[in-house]
Structure 1
Amino acid sequence: MTKGQHNALIVRREESVRTMGKDYLVALLLLLIVPTVYNGPRVLTLTAVSAAACMLGEIICCLAAHRDISIYDLFPITTGMTIAMLLPASAPFWLAAAASLFASVIARGPFGGTGHTPFHPAAAGIAFVTFCWPDLVFSYPDLSSGQKLPIFGDCSEFPTVLSPDTALKQGLKPEILPLDLLWGQFAGPMGTTATLVICACGLYLTLKKTIDARIPLCFVGSAAVYAALFPRIMTTPLTSVKYELLCGSLLFCAVFLAADSVTAPRTGPGKILYGILGGILAMLIRSYGAYEQGACFAILLLNAFSPVTDRLVLSVRERLMERAARRAGLPDGKGGGV
């Protein structure tokens, strides 16, 4: 490869990263509208703090590693926004900042930044604060009380309510209207409850070729099959599927975390297998884990399997080609040789 070709490749890669960052930013901004309407302007300040902390962590890592700081790399910002979406609207600002700094400094920076992270930084950040401060991560504001969340103040005294995921964890049927399930008007992580908007974001990212739809579809599909076969509440399989898919962060994680092109497999069959495994892992952790939300932990386990998935697919493909070649009387699996 000539120097000119190498430089052209770098330019194309930077343009691709920039475009993907813009696509994620547009999708997250669209999704941000719903929790802002329901919870008020505190959603915007919490998201801004999370994104700023993630950007600060990125700058620190770049300075420490003597890497250039790109103003066009939007992934630190979208990572911070994703973390905010997975937190309750009443979460303290320091909690969002802690998750974002962990994501940026620990899960992202040491591996070289954008395009080199083996684990999704946002999933790592949420897993970190979930392990350290689970009571704050799963404490949701009761907006039916008529009180308003303070834009900048402390929410520790704000009335709280149990989420549908907590009810499912306890073997109880959530009392939520079907329309509220679709529009996300119930307790949960502030950006993960609006099913219709998340689906619209997934469609947008798919049409822009930012994500491969096979991963979220297989993720959600395998989770739905698991929920139908092994319901956690005494109800019909279809009702179990409805609550498991729409009440928690599973759908959001399928679109914004599992389908991430950096951590996902490269092969088509690998992506399908990856998605199926992710949905099953998420349901297993949700059913038997210590926390009501298990999708982020499932994503991290899934990321670890990503290279293995591709190697498995390529190994099976090579063996099938060799077998087909032997049946055709050819000396190898490459179509023959002399």
Structure 2
Amino acid sequence: MNTVLSSPHAIGARSVGNVMGLVLIALVPATLAGFWRFGWPSVYLWLVTILACVATEVLCVRLRGLSAGKAVFDGSAVLTGWLLAMSLPPWAPWWIGVVGGVFAVAITKHLFGGLGQNLFNPAMAARVMLLISFPVEMTQWLLPTPDALPGALDALAITFGAGAPDAMSSASLLGHIKAEATKGVLLDQSLPGHYSATAFGMGERQGSLGETSALLLLAGGIFLVIKGVIGLRIPLAFLAGVVVPAAIASAVAPDHYLGPVAHLLSGGVMLAAFFIATDYVTSASTPLGQWIFGLGCGLLTWIIRTWGAYPEGIAFAIMLMNATAPLIDQYTRPRIFGRKRDGRSLNPAETVKARAR
């Protein structure tokens, strides 16, 4: 009996486990910074989310008659859980991580055939599902207070009990601006006291576990580029897709549109540009296609942030572009010498012209 396998999405000497390991290493600095800022509840949520993803992975591969050990040690389930945890409110209840982890692995990944065959990024699909299904739990943001965090035992009551106290929850910058804009309040009135480029760059702001420290995420992304795990096309295109329209809109109407630096430092732009949009499986693979894919992710992020119903649009933007990635690859694949882009052979006269070009 023949076994049908999907073609590789990346060709090279590195194994899947090696690539996943390097990505996890790149995430460590920003993750540790998040633990320090948000305390033990964020550690517990991170652990629960990863364990949920790994347990679901083992169950799914066993049901499919595959090797559970190989599936676990390739690191893909750990990375999915890690990225999902990085995109959650740090004091969210434990069941948010479990529901999200099960959905990410069982529905988004294995329902499509498993590793290398999923259409959507599992972590982003799970985040969208959680945001739509549990909007209250998914929008409880905390201002980092390292000096006033609960101890390990008290944190258990937060993660596995009643959750974060309402008095400690507040809106993120993007949520605050959108809420004020619906009241007709302009940026020059709503922004002061809620935004500082220096503070946001260092992670001193409300947000999910992994999106607070933009500089550490940037450092991790540069590490991946140096190691050759990711290229620069998608990250640069993603950042340009956010920065260019934000700069134009802010220059035209500064009282209505947030500036490009604030967009880069708020939300999960850095996390998405270097760690999520660059996913081998769900992104475009041709050189031109990667530029288009990244630009689309960034532009849609800015559009949803500016005019959408949700303050943050990254997960929606990436999923929309995931759906278009096969079509982008189809129309941007390099032409083979002697053949047209659709694969048909050139006649001799056309071959001479192609060689002359």
Q: Percent identity?
A: 26
Gaps of 5+ in 2: 182-189
Which position in structure 2 is the counterpart of 1:304?
Answer: 323
Matched, 1:151 2:150: no
Matched, 1:227 2:246: yes
Please give the residue correspondences for 1:204-215 in structure 2 after superposition, counting only pairs within 5 Å: 204-215=223-234
**Native 8 Å contact 1:232 1:287 kept in 2:** no
Q: What amino acid is the match of 1:208?
A: K
Structure 1 moving runs of 4+ over 3 Å = 12-15, 142-147, 231-234, 236-239, 315-322, 328-336
1:89 and 1:335 map into 2 onto residues whose CA distance is 58
235-244 or 274-283, which deviates more: 235-244
Q: What amino acid is the match of 1:92?
A: P
2:60 and 2:334 map into 1 onto residues whose CA distance is 37
Matched, 1:255 2:274: yes
Gaps of 5+ in 1: 1-5
Which position in structure 2 is the counterpart of 1:122?
Answer: 123
1:299 and 1:73 map into 2 onto residues whose CA distance is 24
Which position in structure 1 is the counterpart of 2:214?
Answer: 195
1:56-101 Cα shifts (integer Å, max 9, x gaps): 1111111111111114211101110111111111111111111111
Matched, 1:59 2:61: no
Q: Name the CA shift for 1:83/1:331 in 2 (closer, same or farther; >3 Å).
A: closer
Matched, 1:330 2:350: yes
**Native 8 Å contact 1:168 1:233 kept in 2:** no
1:243 and 1:321 map into 2 onto residues whose CA distance is 43
Q: What amino acid is the match of 2:246?
A: A
Please give the residue correspondences for 1:255-294 in structure 2 after superposition, counting only pairs within 5 Å: 255-294=274-313
How far apart are 1:288 and its partner, in Å?
2.2
84-93 or 110-119, which deviates more: 110-119
Which position in structure 1 is the counterpart of 2:259?
Answer: 240
1:124-156 Cα shifts (integer Å, max 9, x gaps): 110110010112111112445974244211224
Q: What secondary structure, in the 3-state scheme, does the structure 2 residue paired with 1:153 have?
A: helix
Q: What secondary structure, in the 3-state scheme, does the structure 2 residue paired with 1:263 have?
A: coil
Q: What amino acid is the match of 1:312?
A: Y
1:214-267 Cα shifts (integer Å, max 9, x gaps): 101100111101111224996389961111111111221111111111111111
Q: What secondary structure, in the 3-state scheme, does the structure 1 residue paired with 2:317 have?
A: helix
Q: What secondary structure, in the 3-state scheme, does the structure 1 residue paired with 2:242 have?
A: helix
Q: Name the CA shift for 1:102/1:31 in 2 (closer, same or farther; >3 Å).
A: same
2:63 and 2:315 map into 1 onto residues whose CA distance is 28
TM-score, normalised relative to structure 1: 0.87
Matched, 1:173 2:191: yes
Aligned residues: 324
How far apart are 1:32 and its partner, in Å?
0.8
Which position in structure 2 is the counterpart of 1:83?
Answer: 84
Q: What amino acid is the match of 1:166?
A: G
**Native 8 Å contact 2:39 2:149 kept in 1:** yes
Which position in structure 2 is the counterpart of 1:19?
Answer: 18
Aligned alpha-carbon RMSD (Å): 3.0
Q: Name the CA shift for 1:145/1:207 in 2 (closer, same or farther; >3 Å).
A: closer
2:148 and 2:23 map into 1 onto residues whose CA distance is 32
2:67 and 2:217 map into 1 onto residues whose CA distance is 34
Which among 166, 169, 179 is matched to residue 160 of structure 1?
A: 169
258-267 or 172-181, which deviates more: 172-181
31-40 or 146-155, which deviates more: 146-155
Q: Name the CA shift for 1:249/1:120 in 2 (closer, same or farther; >3 Å).
A: same
1:227 and 1:247 map into 2 onto residues whose CA distance is 13
**Native 8 Å contact 2:286 2:334 kept in 1:** no
**Native 8 Å contact 2:119 2:323 kept in 1:** yes
30-39 or 224-233, which deviates more: 224-233
52-61 or 112-121, which deviates more: 112-121
How far apart are 1:114 and its partner, in Å?
2.0
Q: What amino acid is the match of 1:91?
A: A
How far apart are 1:47 and its partner, in Å?
0.6
**Native 8 Å contact 1:168 1:232 kept in 2:** no
1:264-315 Cα shifts (integer Å, max 9, x gaps): 1111011011111111111112222221111011111110110111111138
Q: What amino acid is the match of 2:81?
A: G
Which position in structure 2 is the counterpart of 1:3?
Answer: none
Which position in structure 1 is the counterpart of 2:73?
Answer: 72
1:300 and 1:238 map into 2 onto residues whose CA distance is 25
**Native 8 Å contact 1:173 1:233 kept in 2:** no
1:106 and 1:222 map into 2 onto residues whose CA distance is 30
Q: Name the CA shift for 1:319/1:75 in 2 (closer, same or farther; >3 Å).
A: same
